[in-house]
A and B are shown apart, each in its own frame.
Chain A
Amino acid sequence: MAKTGKAALFFILTVFLFSVISPVIQHADPYGIDMNSIKQPPSTSHPFGTDTKGRDIFWRVTAGGRLSIGIALTAAFISAAVGFAFGITAGYFGGKVDAALMAFVDFILSFPSLLLAIAISVVMPPGIYNVMIALAAVGWASFARLIRGHVLSVKTMPYIDAAKALGCGNLRILLLHIAPLCIPLSLVMMGIKLGGFILAEATLSFLGLGAQPPTPTWGSMISAHRGYVLTAPWMVLFPGMAITFTAFCFNLAGEALREKFELKDSRL
């Protein structure tokens, strides 16, 4: 899987870099409405065709990629950071702190994830930050679990006893002696989870809870043109392929990571 993982990573980077630099190189404005060229099938001037307002779908997909991948990355990062803080605190202090924090984690995990994300998104005015917060609010719990488990094994190591004997305070041990050993694990976990974040972001924006028109995200492009699928399937086909391809690459890379670090539990 290692080779496939590397190839997948390469594809993701290419796609993401391309979408990041696309504002400089694009020759059609993803927001530019052109009523003379609506609903055109894919051609050389519009490789993915145009939508109902004559906007070029190729450049909308790239612009959407910037947002969709960016949102998923940010949400995964916030989840990892929050889960990290919860996990090391619970794992290190143990006892009642651990019981209380893990009860909260279990509580979050006991919700069907999408329903919870929907409930949170409904609260806030729709937009990209809303999606990030909703995804992170649901996603951090599994990070917290994993990190806590890791801390439990780290804190029995002799060098922690040595640090205690030297008179290090809890905070010092936690931040300087335990946290650094948990960072790689949470990065690996982030890599494994990114594919899921891409899909969840797409679902929320498909449901209209994410970025609002005319801002393109892959999910919202599909929901906006769902009705034209019979007459102009390319409007729905290409954004969907973009989601599938990106999520697939992230999942392949995640799978390679999982194998390398021997995280067997496929529920992680």
Chain B
Amino acid sequence: MKELERVNNPHGDDKVMDACGLFGIIDTSGRRFSGEAVIQAITNMHDRGNGLGGGFAAYGIYPEMADHYCIHIMYATPASKPETEVFLKRHFTIAQDEEVSTRKARGIVKPPVLWRYFVAAEPHCPEGVAQDDYVIERVMEINTQIEGAFVFSSGKDMGVFKGVGFPEDIADYFRVEEYKGYLWTAHSRFPTNTPGWWGGAHPFNILDWTVSHNGEISSYGINRRYLEGFGYHCTMQTDTEVVAYAVDLLVRRHGLPIEIAAKVFAPPFWDQIARLTDEEQELCRTLRQVYASLLLNGPFTVIIAHQGEMIGLTDRIRLRPLTAAVKGDRLYLSSEEASIRLIEPDLDRAWIPMGGEPIVGRLKVKAVEKGKIKARA
């Protein structure tokens, strides 16, 4: 295990209490827009966070390199960069690499070196191994074996920008307003049980999956052990990480629709199941039996995203807030309605979803066909 505490937690924070702020927008027509609106919205929830973590995920931002995995890496030690680059050259074809563009920003203290690599898995990926699986294995190797190096984004045509600071400061630092995407999520952190360090900021990522979370996943231990059996290793010292891996396992590898995955994370209670039709009962029982170890216990609201889809989900008894809203082609998700109204005062509809019911925004098929957005292979 790496000595994360010394390297990454100079603030020495340990346990504080309050909420986190979540925000997300998807334009289902596939139209790209600047990060400005999402920055404004998450900044409006400044008081939900405490400056120990802010971050953004953006989809559709690297259209000219959309066929390549974009690996964002934070280097906390000088030696970790050359060591990682030797590893990357051995396992990938690097098409392009550059420092992640940043500027001096208020409140950003001791940032790690941040680098991005556009890579292809060919010709290194062995035959018969899915490229996505190959990439995950390499990401896990970097995160568990190279001291001081952390991959915090590894999808195609998307990227995560995150670190220790308030989200508005992180946005300024990463020049988030300069990117254009059709799907944005944002997080303002108030760490509860785990340290505030750069890798521990949300959104959490694997491939193009990102997860931002408000709450506490008390089933972390059992979720983590189960996921280790499938090759996912938790290195970010934060409960939320398991959700990113779990959704990759259920949706990408096991092929479940997100609505079914939601029933794994937030299953109906047994007494509710008993009132369903026979067919629904069988489905719910089977899911609870097969995926018992992926049930997420404890209070949570998450915004999950991947290429073409954004999902909001809360725990079954809704111990953390979520408001959804629609305007034209856009779906908004937020911890607070005011942040949505700030950037779109004239909504078609705003509502508070029931606990455990996923709210899903999907790219319209037309947008995918037109080639505006690359559909997932």
Asked if A pairs with B, the answer is no
Using CB atoms and an 8 Å cutoff, list the residues of chain B in contact with chain A: none
Using CB atoms and an 8 Å cutoff, list the residues of chain A in contact with chain B: none
